[in-house]
Structure 1
């Protein structure tokens, strides 16, 4: 009985110590049995990016006016664009560089969707498209100039 009392713990201790001498990646090592390797993050991004992130709208042909109006908590950038014919729609000022200024210049692309059918040219006043974009005071820190880019030209407004 006394032999069994001392022999069993001695055998178990030598077994644990002997198996723990196995490599750290070994499955025989009892210290690795209940350890987690952590969470492995895998990004599954399709070739060419997600469809929602792709911009299918083109630039407006010409930016004819740009105004920056002060507002509560920031400013409203208002631009007028002139597409080549009637029927252009879904206009927006899309920020460049995640709406961060580069050398004090905050840049927006004047994006617009082409009509799905053939339309007439119309007069320039009929084709004008107005867009607006709110910019908060936090995003305006360090900005000296706001620029709106079209296909043929760009307009800018300085403080």
Structure 2
């Protein structure tokens, strides 16, 4: 992994995902982000094979999606993923969903928990996995700050 975000292959949008307004239904942005994280985890050896071998996995604890530009039928998208922070039990990632033409469609900020499936209960990552995530976090720390990271939802009122 480099100092650039992890980039997923293009994903197809399925025809049944579009609402009566003609754009991608909000729920399917989460599906696209979730599939992107699966690709990311597989590349870091903590995806489905890790779940089978170690009986551990990652669960989403919190997610914040920002819709930037609508996606329409026929579009294809990719995700760029960066590690924002990590500790023994938690992983904070930021994903950007890009249209194949290069424009930003949406972002997702996600807090994931490392879970021992025997409980299931939140548990520390193995040292080697934590070290890989921490190294990636350090590399991604040099990426330009995105104003959507850490943003809360609020109606901002003037004085």
TM > 0.5 fold call: no
TM-score normalised by length of structure 2: 0.24
TM-score normalised by length of structure 1: 0.24
Q: Larger Rg: 1 or 2?
A: 1
